[in-house]
Amino acid sequence: MANYDYDLFVIGAGSGGVRAGRMAAGFGARVAIAEDRFMGGTCVNVGCVPKKLYVYASEYGKGFGDAREFGWDADKPAFNWSTLRDNKKAEISRLNAIYRNLLDGVEAEIIDGRGHIVDAHTVAVGENSYTTERILIATGCWPHVPEFPGSEHTVTSNEIFDLETFPERMMVVGGGYIAVEFAGIFNGMGAAVTQLYRGPLFLRGFDSDIRAHAAQEIAKSGVDLRFEVNVESIERDAGGLQVKLTDGSSVETDVVLYATGRRPHLEGLGLENVNVKLNDSGAIAVDAEYRTDEPSVFALGDVIGGMELTPLALAEGMAFARKEFAGVNAPVDYEFIPTTVFCQPNIGTVGYTEEQAQDRFENIELYKSTFKPMKHTISGRDEKTFMKMIVDMATDKVVGVHMVGPDAGEIMQGIAIALRSGATKAVFDSTIGIHPTAAEEFVTMREPWAED
């Protein structure tokens, strides 16, 4: 048996890599983990954690306005960008330390630097080389900005959290969840936001009703949505950034955030030194056990494509560690994975979209509901909640649930448990609702929706 320095060498200390390393060490493996940027990866540092904090900040602006009709008669406070930014930095530093302490607690060695694969059992970090029985790649994804005249004037979701000054005017380019979320965040903080998307409707891959309703509500909130248009060029002048668009118009803005996609972060990994193949989307190709074509090299998380979700990377890290170091085969079930988009109002979704269900099941039944949230019956805010349920008529099982409205993510977590348990429409119908809540609507949808 070969004598290696480690049983597992993890490249990347994000959610998936840290979970896999911690669990492997807990099973008795000798583990090292290399990270060249920040502990906790994208989610903790430039992803879901700071983004959610900024969503909270952005919602106060509307909340102060809502409060007047509830009897709170006061001037709207001023927003201080630097206070939010610096408090966010302090919280992220705290979380970075927690991740480091978690690894120290199981005696996993942390190596600061970018891991470079030398061969199937050797990883170099800087001037030092380490041998290992297994290598795990968990380097995640990185924002990608296409090259065009003036592309150097753009920022990505990595930099947007730490701008030196708050932009009074912002352009967001992209139609995925990151673009939609940041458009809402800066709109809520008081910036004049324009969002561009080259297609006819953003949030491709989500249920079509959800996409349409979200566009309607986001436009009502004040975001200037422009579909089927793209950036042609950007120039800087005394007034800010002059953005020329493909429809012949131009927009003057202070910041252009490009959120048009993320790519697997593979630079400098040394994949050319091992038998690791990429799939058509440029992600690392793996089998059901996260093994590449190189038997000793594994990969998981965003770097293998699929849904870019922190809890999914955590689940994959656990499944990998259990299989490789505890002999427990407990694969991840990729059906009925819930997700949310922290736009305003929120989107929550689990299961099949209507389009997917039509392809998967012989006959489906739809249930839909649109209503004004109870809070806004007094606040006066022009906002509507939308809910949708998809049922497989052959089994009566609920196979898709989708929502646009306040707290959609919180509500959808419980719905996901029901769908994973195989709940039928009859089970939903027989469940007593919590009144008055928006969530109770999911157990009171009695009449199937019919196309008018």
CA–centroid distance for 134 within its chain = 29
Active site residue 402: no
CB distance 417 to 427 below 8 Å: no
Q: What is the pLDDT at residue 75? A: 82
Q: In CATH terms, is domain 6-143+263-325 a member of 3.50.50.60?
A: yes
**pLDDT at position 452 over 50:** no
Reported in sequence order, the residue ranges of 327-420 that DSSP labels E, i.e. its strands, are 339-341, 347-351, 364-371, 385-392, 397-404
Mean pLDDT of 219-229: 98
**pLDDT at position 146 over 50:** yes
> Do 6-143+263-325 and 151-260 share a fold?
yes
**pLDDT at position 348 over 80:** yes
pTM: 0.96
Query: Of 218, 137, 237, 122, nearest to 177 (Cα)?
Result: 218
Q: In CATH terms, is domain 339-443 a member of 3.40.50.920?
A: no
Q: What is the pLDDT at residue 430? A: 98
Q: What is the pLDDT at residue 21? A: 98
In terms of C-beta density within 10 A (0-12 exposed, 13-18 middle, 19 or more buried), how is residue 380 classed? Answer: exposed
Q: What is the pLDDT at residue 288? A: 96
Tokens describing residue 151: 């592309």
**Catalytic, out of 144, 153, 213, 435:** 435
Q: Give me the residue spans of the domains in the chain.
A: 6-143+263-325, 151-260, 339-443
In this structure, CATH architecture of domain 151-260: 3-Layer(bba) Sandwich (3.50)
pLDDT band, residue 451 (cuts 50/70/90): low
pLDDT per residue as tens digits for the range 51-98: 999 999 999 989 999 999 999 998 878 999 999 999 999 999 999 999
In angstroms, the CA 193 to CA 172 distance is 7
pLDDT per residue as tens digits for the range 151-165: 999 999 999 999 999
